[in-house]
DNA sequence: CCTACCGATCGGTAGG
DNA sequence: CCTACCGATCGGTAGG
């Protein structure tokens, strides 16, 4: 949300564009890309159908704008880039904490857009994402390697795959079962315990 | 695939129904539920549009049939139910191996249907799934508990969440990056190594 | 009377 | 930014 001051400074057209992106995001989350009509987006934004085309060339460009705003890149890069710590243990715990903080705020809103990407666009844009975050991910993994003197003798790719799988799986299962009683019964935040198991698994 | 003998025994209508479910599955995977038209399904199955309605009351009933055939239940229940082993270590490795075998065969074909479920149907049917596999999952977790004498003192829910996250994340990342060069560069099957890290993390 | 299916078309709505 | 409207296509059904 923008402050009133920021809103006043924006040109009228920009406000409408923002409304359209927000409205489109909401509609896409409910029924996907193909299940959402331009009329539904227009109605939610309080704009006529034709008015959308003053800001976007077509439906796909609306999705591109939504994807740009709800892109995992904006969450993953700061979290992975700012991880610090003397020991490997501190480093991993800090990274997990940063990821959790960022994903608690924005992770749930990003997830549906990723599903649209994977399902309706065959993950085209995600291939780009993989290449864009690869340098940051490499830097992060160098942090692993630089602190590996306390680590068991393990193939680094395996350690990386295990850490990635654990984090992705933790947030994915949390999202899917977000209001299931089966998960709600357990402790709210099991991430520290889960990370502890991982650390015990790779350290001497 | 059915054998010729089985095909001959099937009534004509059943053959057409099977063709329709297979065709619908293929089309749904490409563009999702709302992005697929009855005409596309009919065309791929080599059937007239109206012919679909001799087998299904409508489009949603077609999806229900697809979901039923490509349901994770059919994969997860046997794999989790048949896990055996004297020690916790053997038990976990066996379960992971069974899951990998089942998911290597059918996991990739199930994934897109799950995305449709999560995105376009708000995960309605997945809630049912969670409740249906819960007993089997409990039995599996009792296998954990029964062999826990070699385990560190850890809260069982945390161990469960870690194992679930690790397996879900491993197969999910494998699916998403299935033809990415970043993953293809590493060893093909890292599951044993990943499971080894988990075991080292929970055992004394 | 059943089944499985056809060519053609129904009332409405899609993106533009 | 809106109203009005297009070519086409949507899910579903008519009679035969």
| CA pair distance A54, A50, nearest whole angstrom | 8
Q: What is the pTM of this model?
A: 0.87
pLDDT digits (tens, 9 = 90+) for B107-162: 789 999 999 988 998 887 777 777 888 888 888 888 888 998 899 999 988 999 99
Residue B103 · residue B16 · CB < 8 Å: no
* Confidence band of B82 (pLDDT split at 50, 70, 90): very high
Mutate which: B29, B128, B165, vs A, most A CBs within 10 A: B165
* Helices A59-69 & A12-31 angle (0-180, nearest 10): 90
- Nearest CB neighbour to A165, from listed B119, B158, B169: B169
* Confidence band of B7 (pLDDT split at 50, 70, 90): very low
Closest CA to B63 of B119, B136, B15: B119
DSSP string for A61-104? HHHHHHHHHT-THHHHHHHHHT---SSHHHHHHHHHHHHHHHHH
The pLDDT score that the predictor gives to residue A13 is 60
Taking CB atoms and an 8 Å limit, are A176 and B118 in contact across chains? Answer: yes
Of the candidate ranges A63-67, B19-23, B88-92, B121-125, the one whose mean pLDDT is the lowest: B121-125
State yes or no: pLDDT of A191 exceeds 70: yes
State yes or no: pLDDT of B168 exceeds 90: yes
B56: which nucleotide lies closest, measuring CA to C1'?
A: D12
Strand D, nucleotides covered by protein (CB < 7 Å): 1-5, 9-15
% of residues, chain B, pLDDT over 70: 90
Across chain B, what does the average pLDDT equal? 85
Q: Confirm whether any atom of chain C, the nucleic acid strand, is less than 7 Å from CB of A40.
A: yes
| CB within 8 Å of B112: residues ≥ 6 apart | A118, A119, B28, B29
Taking CB atoms and an 8 Å limit, are A194 and B161 in contact across chains? Answer: yes
Residue bearing tokens 């999910």: B172
CA of B39 and C1' of C7: distance in angstroms? Answer: 14
* Confidence band of A130 (pLDDT split at 50, 70, 90): confident
Residue A151 phi/psi, 5-degree rounding, is: -95, 150
B16: which nucleotide lies closest, measuring CA to C1'?
A: C4
Provide the sign of the torsion angle of the four alpha carbons A27, A31, A32, A33, taken in this order: negative
CA distance B129 to chain A (A): 11
* Helices A88-120 & A12-31 angle (0-180, nearest 10): 80
């Amino acid at each position: 949300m923008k402050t009133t001051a920021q809103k006043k400074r924006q040109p009228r057209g920009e406000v409408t564009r923002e409304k359209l992106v927000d409205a489109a995001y909401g509609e896409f989350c409910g029924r996907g890309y193909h299940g959402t009509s331009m009329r539904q987006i227009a109605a939610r934004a309080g704009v006529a159908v034709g008015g959308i085309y003053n800001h976007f060339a077509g439906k796909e460009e609306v999705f591109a704008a939504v994807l740009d705003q709800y892109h995992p890149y904006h969450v993953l890069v700061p979290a992975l880039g700012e991880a610090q710590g003397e020991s490997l243990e501190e480093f991993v715990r800090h990274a997990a904490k940063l990821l959790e903080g960022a994903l608690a705020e924005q992770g749930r809103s990003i997830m549906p857009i990723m599903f649209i990407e994977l399902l309706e666009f065959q993950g085209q844009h995600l291939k780009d994402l993989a290449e864009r975050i690869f340098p940051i991910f490499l830097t992060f993994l160098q942090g692993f390697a630089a602190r590996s003197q306390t680590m068991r003798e393990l193939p680094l790719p395996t350690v990386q795959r295990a850490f990635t799988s654990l984090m992705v799986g933790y947030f994915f299962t949390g999202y899917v079962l977000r209001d299931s009683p089966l998960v709600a019964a357990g402790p709210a935040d099991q991430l520290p315990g889960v990370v502890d198991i991982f650390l015990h698994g790779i350290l001497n």
